[in-house]
Amino acid sequence: MNYQLRLSDRRSAAIEITREGEVIVRVPRWLPQEEIDRLVDKHMPWIRRKLRDMEALREAYPEPDAEQIAQLRRQAEAVLPPLVKHWSEKMQVQPTGLKVTSAHTRYGSCSEGNRLCFSWRLMQLPAEAIEAVVVHELAHIRHKNHGPDFYAEVERYLPDYRQRIKLLKKPTKEGTKV
């Protein structure tokens, strides 16, 4: 089994299967190669299953072409600013800016300076999921972590938040988050 090995100062090991079907093994620098091999062998059934899932996902939901990406970006630039404005007023928070990105691994982010970034890939999701990501990122203006206070803040405005975020992981007609 071919995989990319990423050594870092982390404390635990993790295996990631990318949308493109790459296997990435992240481990602490101090972990011996024998332990890494055992980890990969132990998780081989899971790895094979996820590789099959990703192949089926790529076939069912191919990556958009350049024209489709441009259309999704325009849609994001039209949809997100009024949505952020609505929810920031309701939540009484003020982002310092908004940017549409091409991020693959996250739908949104909030910087230390309260600047929001959203991937155009959000536009492939149902409206309920888009709204959940916007509220999630706006909540980071008050809570810079994912602790209990953060989730209480999000659920104060979206009581069904936990149901909505499930839409981020499920394939839809329009697209999927992997």
Place of tokens 């949505």: 83
Q: Are residue 157 and residue 76 in the same domain, yes or no?
A: yes
pTM over cut 0.85? no
Q: Are residue 31 and residue 105 in the same domain, yes or no?
A: no
From the CB of residue 139, how many other CB atoms can be counted at a distance below 10 Å? 26
Phi-psi region of 92 (alpha: psi -120 to 50; beta: other; left: phi over 0): left
Q: How many domains is the chain partitioned into structurally? A: 2
Q: What is the pLDDT along the chain (178 residues), one digit of tens a residue?
A: 899 999 999 999 999 988 788 999 999 999 999 999 999 999 999 999 999 988 887 787 788 899 999 999 999 999 999 999 999 999 999 999 999 999 877 899 999 999 999 999 999 889 999 999 999 999 999 999 999 999 999 999 999 999 999 888 754 433 333 2
Rounded to whole angstroms, the Cα distance separating 85 from 89 reads 6
Residue 143 near residue 171 (C-beta atoms within 8 A): no
Give the range of the structural domain holding residue 13, as residue numbers without chain letter: 4-60
Q: Are residue 116 and residue 154 in the same domain, yes or no?
A: yes
**Does some domain include residue 174?**
no
The CATH number linked to 125 is 3.30.2010.10
99-107's contacts with Cβ under 8 Å and 24+ in sequence apart are 100/73, 100/76, 102/69, 104/19, 107/133, 107/168, 107/177
Q: Are residue 72 and residue 35 in the same domain, yes or no?
A: no
Give just the sign of the alpha carbon dihedral 97, 100, 102, 108: positive
**Does some domain include residue 177?**
no
